[in-house]
Amino acid sequence: MADPVIATAIQRGPLVCVYDMKRYQLFCVTGELMGYTANTVTVKKNSVIVVYNSRRMTISTHTAR
């Protein structure tokens, strides 16, 4: 089964909520939305930048500068 496609990611207060093409909520995480693509969402959590895939699996982490 293919991973869902990310249609949008929205900052809602302290949460970043991620939605698919049918406006189904895929997941929400705490942090600051940095950006998103069809396959990934980038969120800043304190001094760490975390990249998630559309299934909320962590793809990578980086220290924020």
User: Mean pLDDT for each consecutive 10-residue tract of the chain (65 residues)?
Assistant: 92 98 97 98 96 97 89
* CA nearest to 56, candidates 28, 32, 31: 28
Report domain extents, the chain: 8-63
Rounded to two decimals, what is the model's pTM?
0.93
At 57, is the secondary structure helix, strand, or coil? coil
According to DSSP, residue 30 is labeled E
What lies within 8 Å, CB to CB, of 11 at 6+ separation is 32, 33
- pLDDT for position 65: 77
- pLDDT for position 17: 98
